[in-house]
Structure formats: structure tokens, C-alpha cells
Amino acid sequence: MNKELTNKIIESLKKIPGISNKQANRILNFFLESNVNFTNDLFENLLKIQSQTKKCKQCLAYSNNEICDICLDKKRASKLFVVFENQDIEKIEALDIEKGKYFIFNENINLKKISQETSTKLDLLLDIIKKFDEVILCLNTDLNGQITMQYLKKAITDLYPNKQVYQPSIGIPFGMTIEAIDPISLRQSILNKKRI
């Protein structure tokens, strides 16, 4: 087997987030065992979708056009969900709630070093926010996500002191026993208790 080519492919596959050396080897083995047509079709389709897809200039979601259909939709409520990635939009769209618009932030803020790219994205977000009455920071609820939401909240309210900024409350997932829930979520869900 061509060692040099193997290493090159493994290194490329490891650039995919979450793919370890072992998983990269498993993917390579899968293709070595596959039919040539299968590999050809997959890579042709990947190239096709890569060439057709761009990022919407307003919300940074994947789109076939400069501005995506959601951003162009005039019927939506004046609320902006700031989400982490494209899949989050599909998830929120599927909920039976009033539809708003979205902005894909796609990273956690590193307070020690804010890159030029992050700061350009933040400027774009702050500019878009002026069109909305309500902003819902819907990022991941782990520590880095919380730091990012706090940072965004401050940046937004510094510029627009009257803007309503929300984040989803941390609660107990449906069907979960109290024993299995972590203390931070349990504390928050008791603080956010509702009258029944």
C-alpha cells in the first residue's frame, strides 16, 4: 500500500472536526472496500454542492443565493435567533413557535484573543440587530457557550441599551429523572420555576 498517499489522506480526514486518527483510518478502509462508482458519485456530489452553496450575506447560513429565503421572508416576526450552526436553524424551524430570523455565529468567543474574523462577524451581527425588536441568544449552554452569550449580550446592550436580549432558560429535559440531572441545570430550573 502506498504509505505516502495513505498518510496524506489520513491527515486530510483528520481536519474534519471530531475525526481522530483511528476514525480516519476506518473511513479510508471503508472507501478501499467500496465500489469505485460509489466513491466517484460521493465526491462528484460533494464538489457539486460545494460549488453551488454560498453563505447568505445577512445571516451567514448556507444558501444557493446571496440572500437566503428566510432573510427575504417578510412574514416573520421581528426576532433574531443567534445560533451556533446551520443545523440549529432546522431544529428551531421545526418547533411550533412564532418564526423569526437567524444569525449563525459558529464559534465560541475566546476572551483572550478576539480575531479579526470574529470581530468582522460581530460587526455584521450588531448591524443586523438594529432591524429586530428581540434577540434570542440560542448558543450552546456549556461554559464556552455561556461566556460567548455574556459577551454578545454586553456588546448588543452597549450599542442598543433598549434592545431586549434573551437566552433560553436552562431546564430539566423532558422525561429526565431529578436524580440524573446535573446540579447547574437543576438549580437554574428551580430558579426559573413557573406557577402551575
Residues that bind Zn ion (CB under 5 A): 56, 58-59, 68, 71
The residue among 11 and 73 lying less far from Zn ion, judged by its C-beta, is 73
The residue among 56 and 139 lying less far from Zn ion, judged by its C-beta, is 56
Distance (Å) of CA 2 to CA 5, 9, 20, 50: 6, 11, 21, 29
Could you tell me the smallest distance in angstroms from the CB atom of residue 61 to Zn ion?
5
The residue among 58 and 148 lying less far from Zn ion, judged by its C-beta, is 58
C-alpha span between 82 and 149 (Å, rounded): 9
C-alpha span between 10 and 47 (Å, rounded): 20
Could you tell me the smallest distance in angstroms from the CB atom of residue 3 to Zn ion?
45
The residue among 56 and 80 lying less far from Zn ion, judged by its C-beta, is 56
Helix (H) or strand (E) holding 136: strand 134-138
Could you tell me the smallest distance in angstroms from the CB atom of residue 168 to Zn ion?
21
The residue among 24 and 104 lying less far from Zn ion, judged by its C-beta, is 104
Helix (H) or strand (E) holding 80: strand 79-83
Phi (first) and psi of residue 137, to 5 degrees? -85, 105
Query: Residue 137: helix, strand or coil by DSSP?
Result: strand
Could you tell me the smallest distance in angstroms from the CB atom of residue 100 to Zn ion?
12
The residue among 91 and 187 lying less far from Zn ion, judged by its C-beta, is 91
Beta-bridge partners for 103? 82
Could you tell me the smallest distance in angstroms from the CB atom of residue 71 to Zn ion?
3
**Count of helix runs (H) and strand runs (E) in the chain:** 8, 6
Query: Residue 94: helix, strand or coil by DSSP?
Result: coil
Query: Residue 165: helix, strand or coil by DSSP?
Result: strand
Could you tell me the smallest distance in angstroms from the CB atom of residue 72 to Zn ion?
8
